[in-house]
Amino acid sequence: AQSVAQPEDQVNVAEGNPLTVKCTYSVSGNPYLFWYVQYPNRGLQFLLKYITGDNLVKGSYGFEAEFNKSQTSFHLKKPSALVSDSALYFCAVRDPYYGQNFVFGPGTRLSVLP
Amino acid sequence: EAQVTQNPRYLITVTGKKLTVTCSQNMNHEYMSWYRQDPGLGLRQIYYSMNVEVTDKGDVPEGYKVSRKEKRNFPLILESPSPNQTSLYFCASCQDKVSTGELFFGEGSRLTVL
């Protein structure tokens, strides 16, 4: 069965510093991996995805993520954090072998301090 | 504009009073799904649908019903709501079961059952 872990409930970072939000996954085959962001009182917004190819993928708002197959990780990164990046971040996996259901991690709350 | 629309956004009801949360998408997506979001539990899938007249249970289907009579609509029905169904609900859609596309989410429906 597929699963997603986000080991940190909360990440705090100072504005201008680099940020990392961690995600590890477990699937049977080759995963499709996604990051979503949720701002207060809003739905989830797609940030980026890894399907195949280059392990470093770039997405919206300056975010990027690195797929590491050996470590089964897909950490979200940004070189310089903004206060407006403060939100709840979800990692998700979809295993084509099992069909199209998405499995989400529990979420990590990012706080960027001015 | 591509979007998933849910109604109502906010609802307070009482135990046992049937309610329906509507969901509509304008992207001609085959796949639609309902999730509930609870603190510390992330997103949990309630039901999903691969196409018209095709629905299946997710991880937490108890107490819910769905229907998919038209491709664009996927209502969530609570026949006899109970307080443990107080939650934030999201409808989502994506292209189809074999695509690499991401999920598109509605803005959410916050339900309180007294």
SS3 B83: helix
- B42 and A106 within 8 Å at the Cβ level: the answer is yes
Which pLDDT value is given to residue B26?
Answer: 96
Residue B8 has pLDDT above 70, yes or no: yes
Length of chain B: 114
Query: Quick one: tokens of A20?
Result: 């990392």
Residue B98 has pLDDT above 70, yes or no: no
* Separation CA B46–CA B65 (nearest Å): 9
Angle CA(A56)–CA(A90)–CA(A54) in degrees, nearest 5? 10
Q: What is the pLDDT of residues A5-40, one digit of tens each?
A: 999 999 999 999 999 999 999 987 788 999 999 998
Which pLDDT value is given to residue A31?
Answer: 86
- B106 and A43 within 8 Å at the Cβ level: the answer is yes
Residue A95 has pLDDT above 80, yes or no: no
Residue A36: its chain B contacts at CB < 8 A?
A: 103, 105
Confidence of residue A111 (pLDDT cuts 50, 70, 90): very high
* Separation CA B46–CA B59 (nearest Å): 6
The β-bridge partners of A14 are: A113
What are the DSSP calls for B84-111, one per residue? GG-EEEEEEEES-TT--PPPEE---EEE
- B108 and A51 within 8 Å at the Cβ level: the answer is no
- A96 and B33 within 8 Å at the Cβ level: the answer is no
Which pLDDT value is given to residue B75?
Answer: 98
Residue B68 CB contacts under 8 Å (≥ 6 apart), including other chains? B32, B49, B51, B52, B53, B54, B55, B74
- Measured between CA atoms, how close is A48 to chain B, in angstroms? 9
Taking residue B17's Cβ as centre, other Cβ atoms within 10 Å add up to 12
Residue A51: its chain B contacts at CB < 8 A?
A: 100
Q: Residue with structure tokens 């979800």?
A: A90
Return the DSSP state at A62: G
CA contacts within 13 A on the Cβ side of A108? 25
